[in-house]
Chain A
Amino acid sequence: MASGSELTSNAYLQHHLQNLVLGKLPGGYERADGEILDHASWTLARSSQEALDMGFWAINVDTMGWSIFLGTVFCFFFYRVARAAQSGVPSGFTNLVEMIIEFVNKNVNDIMSVKNPLIGPLALTIFIWVVLMNTMDIVPVDLLPIIAQFVAGDSDLYFKVVPTTDPNITFGLSIGVFILIIYYSIKMKGIGGFASELALQPFGKYMIPFNLILEGIGLLSKPVSLALRLFGNLYAGELIFLLIATLMGSALPFFIGIIAGGVLQFIWAVFHILIVLLQAFVFMMLTIVYIAMAHEHH
């Protein structure tokens, strides 16, 4: 949250939707606060414009950090359960983990006609990781940013905590899936088979350019739709949390605003739990479906 006294709803929203970007600014660059850099240097962006000017070779420290942290949490807990593996009576957390594994494995086996040792772990990782990243949306919107600002001693610090509201993260996942789609398409059908699938369908060899456009769009739309669906849902959800917070905070007297806002946030959070799980599930299922399709000959 900004420290300035004139905190408008718009500024609040924009502040919340800006990542904490670490990147390199060129020498002679005039920063948001008027400071002019002597030489090119790596720094944290202090405005959206600075973040833009850092170009491609910058990194969103906040979402990347949360993403890695949550993935590590997933790996840690699942590894702990796997290491203590025994075939006796399972208890508590082991039960939960096994339930999830069984659920994912069942879906994989239902969809995949071919055995593939990668798809199970892939689907599991996607599902749990995306659930965890989405769940960050349930955490009250201002809680973690305020803590981060307090820890950093910078009350203007950007801090986005929901990795899946960052398209870089969702596209990172979907491009990974896309690479696997291409890899398995070529592995199972050969380069020729894959190419002919792209060029000779659905209208036969006299319509090759048309077929290429059609199938190419179909192929490319897979990762794009995967990433945008997840990003869009979570971004919209996050935005509604923010809107509730700003509207209730600015339009109503202080205490009524806090109570009404809290109630609305809670109601939306309950709805959002559904989205959190559903979007993770959809991402996992589509991944399995796409890779199963890559295995099949048409």
Chain B
Amino acid sequence: MNFNATLFGQLFTFALFVWFTMKFVWPILLKQMEAREARIGDGLAAAEQGQKDFAEAQAKSSAEINKGKEQAALIIAQAQKRHDEIVAAAKEDAKTETARIKESALSEIEQEKERARQALKSHVTALAIAGAEQILMREVDHAAHNEVLAKISQHL
């Protein structure tokens, strides 16, 4: 338990090992650990960014889908409206068309009736004249008769 030159031996060895560690061990390992730390940090940041991007994309896509749905609903509503309008317009058209056809048919019928009446009138007149001529063969004043007949025909 006495002191001897071991003291100096240890002191020298100590210096040597510290020098070795300082030169060949410590800075290299520290640098390596820092590099790894940076790498892990980058990786984590990238993962987080990826997750964020993914969430964003998801939100965007769902918004897009919603927009599409809305648009589709809008288009359907518009189509329904248009359909209603077309149906209504067609009904309207049909109505006016029928009215018009009815009108023209009525006026045609009226004209036909008038024409038939005229024809009938003239026929009746001619028939009446013929009959009268037959019955009253003599002394017939054509002028006076025609006047009477015109009066009659006007009453028909």
Residues in chain A near residue B7, CB distance under 8 A: 168, 171-172, 175
Residues in chain A near residue B4, CB distance under 8 A: 21, 23, 54-60, 168
Residues in chain A near residue B9, CB distance under 8 A: 59, 64, 168, 172
Q: A234 to B85, alpha carbons, bound, how many Å?
A: 105
Residues in chain B near residue A172, CB distance under 8 A: 6-11, 13-14
Complex contact A124–B14 (CB within 8 A): no
* Nearest CB of chain A from residue B41's CB, rounded to whole Å: 12
* Nearest CB of chain B from residue A14's CB, rounded to whole Å: 11
Complex contact B10–A64 (CB within 8 A): yes
* Nearest CB of chain B from residue A26's CB, rounded to whole Å: 16
Binary CB contact string for chain A from 86 to 98 against chain B (1 if under 8 A, 0 otherwise): 1110100000011
Give the number of residues in B that approach A within 8 Å (Cβ atoms): 32
Is B30 in the interface zone, CB < 8 Å from A? yes
Q: A75 to B26, alpha carbons, bound, how many Å?
A: 11
Q: How large is the interface on A (under 10, 10 to 19, 20 to 34, 35 or more residues)?
A: 35 or more
Residues in chain B near residue A59, CB distance under 8 A: 4-6, 9
Q: A122 to B25, alpha carbons, bound, how many Å?
A: 11
Complex contact B20–A52 (CB within 8 A): no
* Nearest CB of chain A from residue B111's CB, rounded to whole Å: 107
Task: Give B4's nearest chain A residue, CB to CB.
Answer: A58
Q: A117 to B31, alpha carbons, bound, how many Å?
A: 13
Residues in chain B near residue A121, CB distance under 8 A: 18, 21-22, 25-26
Task: Give B16's nearest chain A residue, CB to CB.
Answer: A71
Q: Which of A76-107 contact B (CB under 8 A)?
A: 78-79, 81-83, 85-88, 90, 97-98, 101-102, 105
Binary CB contact string for chain A from 158 to 169 against chain B (1 if under 8 A, 0 otherwise): 000000001111
Task: Give A80's nearest chain B residue, CB to CB.
Answer: B25
Q: Which of B2-43 contact A (CB under 8 A)?
A: 2-11, 13-15, 17-18, 20-22, 24-33, 35-36, 39
Q: Which of B21, B29, B39 contacts A98 (CB 8 A)?
A: B29
Q: A57 to B11, alpha carbons, bound, how many Å?
A: 15
Complex contact B29–A87 (CB within 8 A): no
Q: A17 to B2, alpha carbons, bound, how many Å?
A: 12
Q: Which of A96-131 contact B (CB under 8 A)?
A: 97-98, 101-102, 105, 117-118, 120-122, 124-125, 129
Is B1 in the interface zone, CB < 8 Å from A? yes
Q: Which of B15, B27, B35 contacts A87 (CB 8 A)?
A: B35
Q: A55 to B10, alpha carbons, bound, how many Å?
A: 17
| Contact A79:B33 (CB < 8 A) given known A57-B5, A125-B17, A176-B14 | no
Between A and B, 25 residue pairs with Cβ closer than 8 Å are A55-B4, A56-B3, A56-B5, A64-B10, A68-B13, A71-B13, A75-B20, A75-B24, A78-B29, A79-B25, A85-B28, A85-B31, A101-B29, A120-B22, A121-B21, A124-B25, A125-B14, A125-B17, A168-B6, A169-B6, A169-B10, A172-B9, A172-B13, A172-B14, A176-B18
Given A82-B32, A88-B36, A172-B9, list of 9 further CB < 8 A pairs? A17-B1, A56-B5, A71-B13, A74-B17, A120-B22, A125-B14, A125-B17, A168-B3, A175-B7
Chain A residues with a Cβ under 8 A of chain B? 17, 19, 21, 23, 51-52, 54-60, 63-64, 67-68, 71, 74-75, 78-79, 81-83, 85-88, 90, 97-98, 101-102, 105, 117-118, 120-122, 124-125, 129, 166-169, 171-173, 175-176
